Structures are given as structure tokens and as C-alpha cells.
Amino acid sequence: MKSRRQFIKISSLSAAGLIFGGGLLESFANNLVKENKSYFKGPFDFKRTPTYCEVCFWKCAGWVYKDDNGRIKKIVGNDLDPNCNGRFCPRGTGGVGMYYDEDRLKTPLIRTEERGKQTYREASWDEAFEYIASKMKQIKKEYGPESTALFTHGSGGKYFGTLLKAFGSNNIAAPSYAQCRGPREVAFISTFGQGINSPENTDIRDTKCLVLIGSHLGENMHNGQVQEMSDAIDKGATIITVDPRFSTVAGKSKHWLPIKPATDNALLLAWMNVLINEELYDKEYVKKYTFGFEQLKDHVQRYTPEWAYGVTTIKPQQIRETAREMANAAPAVIVHPGRHVTWYGDDTQRLRAVAILNALLGSWGRRGGFYNPEKAEVTHHKLPAFPKPKKNWRDAMGGKYNLADLALASGVCDASIPSPDMDYAVKAWIVNGTNLINTLPDQQKTIKAIQALDLIVVVDTMPMEITGYADVVLPECTYLERYDALRISQGRVPSIALRMPAVDPLYNTKPAYWMAKELAKKLDLQDYFPFETIEEELDWELKQVGTSLEEMQRIGVKRLEREFDDLYFADGENVEFNTNTGKIELYSTALEEEGFDPMPVYTPHPEPAEGFYRLIYGRAPMHTFSRTANNPNLTDLMDENSCWVNPKVAKEWDLSNGQYVHLENQDGVISEFPIKVRVTERIRFDSIYMVHGFGHADKRMKRCFGKGVSDTQMITNVMTDPIMGGTGMRGNFVTFRTDIKKSEV
């Protein structure tokens, strides 16, 4: 039996002696960039190059400016870009820190054993690819090509995805689905026959009433949405915020409903009850477009505001008042579907309730509600047919989660843990741009899956925790140093954006497309990468939409014409929805067919035991997941998370502001590091709150190592959504351990 993968915490790298792959070095000399002085008449006449941001998934397009010494100085938004309108968020502005971070991965690494201790040795690119290719061939021979998987949350995913499909596997998963927005997509598809996607098709700009349920816009800097919310505030829109925490946007809301956590469904059902019983719903819209109204009417009779009060702690009067407020604004009202919605395991049903409310208010397809987005269509060069995989991760799910329209990262992880009941297991992972240790809940399970693998390759720019488990680490250059696939976006207007290198890659780092192509050569799959360089591929694709690489280098973003004039439904228009009945399904026939409740119900969830508090986590505007935790510019704004505690709770535990405590969860897991207490009125007494993405355990990231607590470490109870396999993460309870000194853990 092979030795277990030890998590390699301490860098084995010596400062000197980078090994370069002989003959594989490519020049990324950026000789295509042209001086274009007309665009910037400032005192500094910079050369600027277009990019789209890689710090989060919003992918705002912008310009990279350099100083007279050719060093990256700043990044600013591109005025033409519908995602950002010329304004980057703090993370995009601070994206320069990703490039300058001296803790970056610098050269390929291969796991090796020296005197019984595992360590990494520096390797040439050729050696690294040779190692990976021979392992992959061996896995293919022993288990079939389907036993490989790709986890990706970055732009390089396209190229590694092509490689994996060419190899014979379709296990391609992004944690942004089962750990984030998956339930929302399934709920909206089963209601309206159409998902929400990204950027969201919420018409916030023109809304009169924005209802946010646990969604903390402004703390999650989903740029376009935050901008439009600000426009809506200017125009006098009402904001209703449902959150156990007084979020930033709660501070801008007319109504803050500090709901008891895990009871949102009760409130949503009571709102339906009021809208229907007070006849406030859009009768014409409901009659014309929806299916199952009578069933819904009967169904919600028992969910009165008085009943909901006992469950949610929100007063009946306030439930009625807010329902009326929504109806008054209708159809220019948005009951916002949120984004990270994997909370309690009945999330698809909660999002179904959100979708149904929007249908009752007639906001779908209406100005100020939800518009119909159009996505840019770009033809990709035809590739040879991919081999058809005989198996995939779904074969390990026992027939569950059929409504999941994308692969589940947690499902692929589960399929990697061998079990006597399965004749299939995933044996190799390629992980690109996602720190699975801090992304998938239940870290022990993730680690168990990793231990059973024959190969794990991690492609990243930073020595994130996941790299410590890798057999091979491939250092990717940052988005500021590379070309990537085009950004092809949906929106009111479809658009495309180009990313090109502003500077040569630092150290011995490479772009993902180059890695995928070189690996393909080793695996005899080069026919799937028909272009010699990415510039040629981009130019070919751009010419299909009437532009060129040369033009895009000058403009960065191109807005395309809408093909259809259908941003909103026309008055009285007949609309065919992509559901079984062709209608908006208040009563879901698709869910019923799969054996689930056709209409959402309220299910009580476990509550914290005495002395325990529900762990709620969220975002800070200057950080993205755990990805930015070591970014010098962004840690300068926020370098650790804190634990928000209600003053009553603080008094009970004798906690004071700024004190450091350890946390222990319901399963006895004690946080690896202590966290700073923030005593604040902004949180309920039954919950604590922290920002996700801190508490890094890899010493190679010097700025963020040991700063704060990793919420993911405390999330050991996962409530899986039976409908689509989303991993509900808000059923965890923690208590304070003031007795532990830092050195004891």
C-alpha cells in the first residue's frame, strides 16, 4: 500500500535554483500590444492592455496600466463593459496584489519522499507533464478514462476541460454549483423553464422594491448588482432585507426582518398566503402564464402570518406590511434569488418559494423585475468528436440528484471514496483555481477522498491548502500575465471581453491553455488543440463575430447586437415557458415526477443546543472566497475575520471586543486558530457570524497563515438537498472555548 499523502506544510523550496523546462519555454513577449495614446490623456502616458478580472466570477472587463518602468501600476474598469460600467470593485482594483504577491507558486513541484518524510522537489515542466501523463495512462488502463475528474473555478477550466473530455471523461465540476447557486438554478428552471445564471437577470436598476433574503449585496460585491442597487436607492426604491444579521444593506432597508435562521420558508409561504388571500397578486399574469394556482391557493392556507410569527419571530403585521409593499411595487419588484443558497438542505424548495412569489407578483419578464438576458454567441473551432464516457460520477450516486443540471463537485468527491457497493471510483483529480479544502464542506471527507486517489494535480497561482495534498503542483501565471478564453457574457446586451497579458509571467509560471496543450501532446491528444498559439485561436473565434484580436486589443470589450427584441414580455404576449406544461409552474410537475413535493412546504430544522450558536458565514467586499486572503493590497484592508457576537451573548460568556477565542462545533471539532470577537448589536443572540475564507493553514502563505477561523473547518454537518445534491452548510453550531491557548491546538 502506498503511503498516505501527508499535507506538506513547509515549503521545501530553496530560494535559488529554479529549474526551467528545457525546450518548453515559450516566449510571451507581448509584441502585439500597440501604443495607443488617444485613450489616455493623463499626465502619465501609459500603455494599457485589456483584461477581464479573475478575482471573482463577475469577470469585469478593465484596463491594466503600467508605469514608466513597465511595472503594473493599476487596473481600472472598461467603460464599455456592461458588467462593470467602467468601475471595478475593491477586489478588481486590488487585483494587482495577485501579481505582486511574493508567496506565489513559482515552479512546478513533484511530491517525493526523502528519509520517510514527504516533501516537494522542483521539477521541470517536461518532467511534471511526463509524470502526470504516465499516471493518467496507467489509470486509463486499470480503471478506464472515466476515472479522472476536473474541478475548476477559473478561466483555465476551458482548456483542462477539453483535455479531460478528449481523454474520455466528463467529470467536470465547479464548486459554484453544488456548494453555491445550484438550488437556485434548479428551482427557477422547474418554475420558469429558465435558470438565473450569471450575471443575474435581475432588473435592479429599474426596480421599485428589492427583497433580499440572506443576500448581502454590498458585502458580496457582485459589481453590476451593487451598482444597480445604488441606482435604485437613488430613484427611491424600497429595500426589504431578511437576515438574522444587520447586514450593510439592512442598513439601507426600509424593513429589516431579523428572521430566526433556518425558517425562511415559513416567511415565504406566509407572504404567498397574504398575496393570495388579500388578492394582491397579479391576477391577469397568473391566469395567463401560470399552472397550478388553485392548488397553490389551497396549499398556503395553513401558512398564515400568525403561524409564521411563531416560527420566524417576525410579527404578523410586519409580514403583511412587507407583502403589501411588494404588491404595490409590482411588477417592478424583485424577490431576489440570491447566489450562495446552499444552506439547509431544502434549498431548492426555498428557491422554488422565491420563484413562486415572483410569479405571483408578475415580475418575471417585466421591467424592474427579471429581464430576459441574451448571451453572446461565439463559434468555437470544430474539434474531433470526444470519446463517449461509459460512466461518470452519477453512477456513484445511486440514482439520486437527477435534476442537477451540472456536475456536483461534492458528488465527484464522494465518487472518489471507494466503496464495496460501487464498481466505479474516480482515481485522478485535476484541480484548477479552487481550494477544495476550504470550498467543500466536511474537510475530513475531502481529505479521505484525496487519500484514495492515484493522482492529484493542482493548478493554481498560490500555495493554497489544496496544493499541500497534490502529487504535482503546476504554477499558473496570474490573469495579468496571460491570455485566456474569451469572456462570453449574458446581459441586457450580449458582450464579449478579451484578456491579454499586460506583462510577461513572473517566475517559472505558465498559463493553463499552454499546460493543457503540452499535456495533450504527452497523451497523444494534440488533435484537440488545433491551434499552435492561443492568439491564433482567439483571432479565429473573434473573426466569427465580426471583430479580430487586433481590434479587441484596442477596445477590450465588444457589445453585440441583441438578436431578439424580447428583454421584457410585451403586453398580453403569449409566452411559451420551457416547462412540462409550457406555463410557469407554481405546481411543479417535474418535481412531482421525481417524487418531491410539487409545492414548497415548511420543514423545521434542528436548533442550537444550550450554549451553542448557529454558525452563519458570508462575504466581505474586499475578499473572494479564500482566494484573496494573501493578496497584499486586500489583506491591507482586511487581514482576518472576526466572530460577531450579540452583546447579551458576550455578557453571558464574559467576552469582550477584540478578545481571541477558539470555537468548537457540535461534533467536537475545535478551530485550528483563534478568532477575534466582535461584540455587536448587528446579530441575533442565537447566531454568530464570520466572513468566509480565512484561517489558512498553509505556512507558505505568510500574510494569511493562522489569521482567523476557517468556517469550512467548522462545517462538518452537511445537509444534502435531496433534489439536486446541494450541500447545505448552515446547520452547524459552535460554542466558545476561552480555555484554549494558541499553542495548544
Partner 1 sequence: MRYAMAIDTKKCVGCSDCVVACQTENDVPIGYCRDWVVEVMDGTYPQLEMELRSERCNHCENSPCVRCCPTGASHYSEGGAVLVTKNECIGCSACITSCPYDARFVHPEGYVDKCTFCLHRVKNGMQPACVAVCPTKCMYFGDLDDPRSEVSQVLKKRKYKTLIPEAGTKPHLYFLI
Least distance between partner 1 and beta carbon 586 (Å): 33
Least distance between partner 1 and beta carbon 582 (Å): 40
Report the residue number, 441 or 556, with the smaller CB distance to partner 1: 556
Report the residue number, 197 or 313, with the smaller CB distance to partner 1: 313
Residues 370-429, interacting with partner 1 (CB under 8 A): none
Report the residue number, 551 or 639, with the smaller CB distance to partner 1: 639
Least distance between partner 1 and beta carbon 554 (Å): 20
DSSP 263: -
Q: Is 221 in the site for partner 1 (CB under 8 A)?
A: yes
Residue 241 parent element (H or E)? strand 238-242
- The 10 Å Cβ neighbour count of residue 597 is 15
Q: 425-435 burial string, b = 16+ CB within 10 Å, else e?
A: bbbbbbbbbbb
Report the residue number, 86 or 722, with the smaller CB distance to partner 1: 86
Least distance between partner 1 and beta carbon 643 (Å): 17
Tell me how far apart the alpha carbons of residues 653 and 639 are, in angstroms, rounded to a whole number.
26
What's the distance, CA 123 to chain centroid? 32
Residue 141, SS3 per DSSP: helix
Least distance between partner 1 and beta carbon 279 (Å): 31
Q: 343-368 burial string, b = 16+ CB within 10 Å, else e?
A: bbbbbbbbbbbbbbbbbbbbbbbbbb
In three-state form (DSSP H/G/I as H, E/B as E, the rest C), the secondary structure along 270-308 is: HHHHHHHHCCCCCHHHHHHHEECHHHHHHHHCCCCHHHH
Residues 82-101, interacting with partner 1 (CB under 8 A): 84, 86-90, 93-94, 96
Q: Which of 695, 731, 717, 707 has the alpha carbon at shortest distance from 616?
A: 731
Out of 170, 202, 223, 432, name the contact with partner 1 by CB under 8 A.
223
Is residue 415 within 8 A of residue 393, CB to CB? The reply is yes
Sign, Cα dihedral of 242, 307, 334, 722: positive
Report the residue number, 76 or 452, with the smaller CB distance to partner 1: 76
Least distance between partner 1 and beta carbon 340 (Å): 18
Q: Is 226 in the site for partner 1 (CB under 8 A)?
A: yes
Tell me how far apart the alpha carbons of residues 526 and 112 are, in angstroms, rounded to a whole number.
29
What size, in residues, is the chain? Answer: 745
Q: Is 613 in the site for partner 1 (CB under 8 A)?
A: no
Least distance between partner 1 and beta carbon 255 (Å): 11
Q: Is 234 in the site for partner 1 (CB under 8 A)?
A: yes
Residues 18-77, interacting with partner 1 (CB under 8 A): 41-43, 73-77
Least distance between partner 1 and beta carbon 343 (Å): 21
Least distance between partner 1 and beta carbon 518 (Å): 34
Cell 434569488, located at residue: 337
Tell me how far apart the alpha carbons of residues 375 and 494 are, in angstroms, rounded to a whole number.
5
Is residue 430 within 8 A of residue 149, CB to CB? The reply is yes
Is residue 128 within 8 A of residue 474, CB to CB? The reply is yes
Count of chain residues binding partner 1 (CB under 8 A): 51
Q: Is 621 in the site for partner 1 (CB under 8 A)?
A: yes
Residues 242-301, interacting with partner 1 (CB under 8 A): 246, 248-252, 256, 258
Out of 209, 523, 615, 622, name the contact with partner 1 by CB under 8 A.
622
Tell me how far apart the alpha carbons of residues 87 and 230 are, in angstroms, rounded to a whole number.
13
Torsions phi, psi for 242 (to 5 deg):
-105, 110
Residues 524-583, interacting with partner 1 (CB under 8 A): none
Stretch that binds partner 1, among 15-23, 227-235, 452-460, 656-664 (CB under 8 A): 227-235
Least distance between partner 1 and beta carbon 654 (Å): 19
Sign, Cα dihedral of 627, 628, 629, 631: positive
Q: Is 684 in the site for partner 1 (CB under 8 A)?
A: yes
- Write out the residues near partner 1 by the rule CB under 8 A: 41-43, 73-77, 84, 86-90, 93-94, 96, 217-219, 221, 223, 226-227, 229-231, 233-234, 246, 248-252, 256, 258, 621-622, 632-634, 636-637, 646, 680-685
